[in-house]
Each structure stands twice: as structure tokens, then as C-alpha cells.
Amino acid sequence: MSVRAALTQATGGLADVSPTPRLDAELLMAHALGCTREAMILERLGDAAPDGFEDLVERRLLHEPIAYITGARDFWTITLQVAPGVLIPRADSETLIEAAVAHFRGTAGPRSVLDLGVGSGALLLAALAEWPQATGVGVDRSPDALRIARGNAERLGMAGRATIREGGWDGWGGPHNLILCNPPYIGLGEPLPSEVAAWEPSSALFAGADGLDDYRALAPLLRPQLARGGVACIEVGATQADAVQALLIAEGFTTASRPDLAGHARCIVAT
């Protein structure tokens, strides 16, 4: 069977489990071929489909996320390796980097970056890629996250600029010019897609009955970690901006929100 025919067949099956079946099929095929999706579309559609493609599709039919199957996820200007045990970076989280870029526009940028809950390293390493003169620290409680973040820093040539260590919302070192944080913010019992609920780590998703527990813990610890003139960019759920801003304002911060591509307030900017 040709790549073209296998893609058509896989797209039909994946339509039952994914809102983007054709894209999923193309990403899995490119991974099986060992090339980029663009190269596959332009050059490989007439080739024979590789033997491993059907196995990849079967994994996706069990709702395993594409990023876990391929082991990689693009974020901002970098590509990260990901695996079960670490949250998959989302495009929504790029809103935090956009907010940071806007804050430091016209300046030399931050010298020191702190990522609270570093996960795969997405936010920290994207910031270090944006500002090559900066150094940073990423903290997390998860051994899997620490291992994966360190590996990503090494692969991206940033191991000398990124310190990855165990820690919580009280951070480490500082004060820092830029603080980035994507905490757990899903309420217990809130419905989630199968590929999230069954595969991604619950410790990176859930934060109490209303999803605000980690913000309550974070807010009083943030000010001592932030340098004068610095900014904290914090991700929030689509309906949480007002509640999180109130927590930060109570701690003396000035806040604003920044929308994601869907128009939801996704990032709280605190100074």
C-alpha cells in the first residue's frame, strides 16, 4: 500500500477518536518514515507505506497522545522531547512567552529566568532561546519532569545556561527578572478528553475542587522571587483570570491578562 492510500485509510479510522484525523495520520506517517511532514507530503506520497505505521495508528486509536507516540513536540522556536510522566506542551502556553517578549521589548531582556513547575522545560528553554544572554532555573517535584527537562536542555545546547532542580513554588535563587509558571489548574471532577485523563500525569493537571489550589499557594511566595522591574507570566484556565488576578492583587501585584489564539484570557502578567 502506498503512503497516500495508507493515509486515507488511517484518516477514516482515526476520525472516531480525534478531531484532527488527517493531521494525526500525517504526523504518524512522517514519524514512521523518519522525515518531516512537509517532506512526506512533497516527496513521499507514492512510496510504500512503512511497516511500523499501522502499529502507530493502533496506539492512537487507544487515545495515546501523538506527542507521546512520536516522542516530540514543537513549542515556540524549539522542539522538545516528551514522554509519559510529563505534561505535553500546548500552543496556549506560548502566550506566556509572547507576554514576556512584549514586556521586555526595547530592552536587553531578562538576565535571569525562573520556571516554576518546569515540566518538559518548554517555557524555560523557549525563553532561553529567545534571550541568548539569559540564564535560568527550572524547578519541579516530578523526577520524570526533571529528567526530561535536563535532557531537553542538553539536546538544545542549553545545559550550561539552564539549571534544573527539585523544588516547589518557593523556587530557588534569585530574584529573577522573568518568572514563568504553568501550574495545575483543572478542578477535580472536571471532564477531560480521554487522551489527557488517561495518559498525562494527574499531578500536572489537577489543583483541588475549583482548580485554584496551586495559585493560592503560589501567590504569597511570588514577590520575593521577582526582581525590581521584572515580570511574572502565569498561565490560567479559560475562566480563571479574574480569580487569579484577585489573589495576586491581594499580594500587592499589578496585573493584566493576555488572550490566547482562541481569545480566552490565558496569561496573567504580574508586576
CATH number of the domain where residue 146 is located: 3.40.50.150
Judge whether 69 lies within some domain. Answer: no
State the sign of the Cα–Cα–Cα–Cα dihedral 23, 24, 25, 28: positive
Judge whether 58 lies within some domain. Answer: yes
Q: Does the annotation flag 183 for ligand binding?
A: yes
Do 99 and 231 reside in the same domain of the chain?
yes
Provide the pLDDT for residue 174: 86
Looking only at the bridges linking them, the beta strands covering 162-166 and 135-140 are parallel
Output the pTM of the full model.
0.95
Q: What percent of the chain has pLDDT over 70?
A: 100
DSSP codes of every residue in 54-90: HHHHHHHHTT--HHHHHTEEEETTEEEE--TTSPPP-
Do 196 and 240 reside in the same domain of the chain?
yes
Do 43 and 103 reside in the same domain of the chain?
no
Looking only at the bridges linking them, the beta strands covering 72-75 and 78-81 are antiparallel
Q: First and final CA of the chain: distance in angstroms?
A: 58
Supply the mean pLDDT for the chain: 97
Q: Does the annotation flag 185 for ligand binding?
A: yes
Q: Does the annotation flag 119 for ligand binding?
A: yes
Q: Does the annotation flag 68 for ligand binding?
A: no
Residue 233 · residue 265 · CB < 8 Å: no
> In angstroms, rounded to a whole number, what is the distance separating the alpha carbons of residues 223 and 95?
22
Q: Does the annotation flag 182 for ligand binding?
A: yes
Beta bridge partners of 48: 2
List the alpha helices (DSSP H) in the chain: 3-14, 21-33, 37-39, 53-61, 66-70, 94-104, 122-130, 143-155, 194-197, 213-222, 241-249
DSSP codes of every residue in 167-188: --TT-SS--EEEEEE----BPT
Looking only at the bridges linking them, the beta strands covering 255-259 and 265-270 are antiparallel
Q: Does the annotation flag 117 for ligand binding?
A: yes
Domain extent, residue 114, equals: 84-270
Q: Does the annotation flag 140 for ligand binding?
A: yes
Do 136 and 183 reside in the same domain of the chain?
yes
Q: Does the annotation flag 121 for ligand binding?
A: yes
Do 54 and 154 reside in the same domain of the chain?
no
Per-residue pLDDT of the chain (271 residues; tens, 9 = 90+): 999 999 999 999 999 999 999 999 999 999 999 999 999 999 999 999 999 999 999 999 999 999 999 999 999 999 999 999 999 999 999 999 999 999 999 999 999 999 999 999 999 999 999 999 999 999 999 999 999 999 999 999 999 999 999 999 999 988 999 999 999 999 998 999 989 999 999 999 999 999 999 999 999 999 999 999 999 999 999 999 999 999 999 999 999 999 999 999 999 999 9
Q: Does the annotation flag 191 for ligand binding?
A: no
Judge whether 99 lies within some domain. Answer: yes
